[in-house]
Amino acid sequence: MKKRNWTGKEKLAIVLEGMRDDTRLSEVCNRHQITQNQFYRWRDKLLSQGEKIFANGGPDRQEQRLRDENKRLKAIIGELTVELKKTEF
C-alpha cells in the first residue's frame, strides 16, 4: 500500500467507521487502503488519549485560557517597557 499522510480528521472518521457494529473492519481498511495494523494503532491512540478531550473543559477551553494569559502577559510587558523608557530619559 502506498504511503499517505492522513489528517487527524480523516483518521478519526476511519476509526469511528471501523468501530461501528454494522461494518466489517476488513472492508473499512480496504476502502481506505490502510492495513488493519494501522487501523488498530490509530484506534489505540484515540482510546488512550481521548480522555484529554474531556479533561478540564477540553482542549478548546484550555487553549482559550492560554490565549487570555498570553494577552495579559503581553500587556504587562508593554506597560513595563513604557515605564522603563520613561526612566531612561
* H or E stretch covering 50: none
Q: 6 in helix, strand or coil?
A: coil
Q: Are residues 40 and 22 in the same domain?
A: yes
Question: Can you tell me which residue has the cell 466489517?
Answer: 24
Residue 28's domain comprises: 1-49
CA nearest neighbour of 42 among 3, 12, 7: 12
Least confident of 24-28, 57-61, 63-67: 57-61
Structural domains counted in the chain: 2
Q: What is the mean pLDDT of residues 48-67?
A: 78
Residue range 18-42, pLDDT digits in tens: 999 998 999 999 999 999 999 999 9
Report whether pLDDT(2) > 70.
Answer: no
Both 62 and 36 in a single domain?
Answer: no
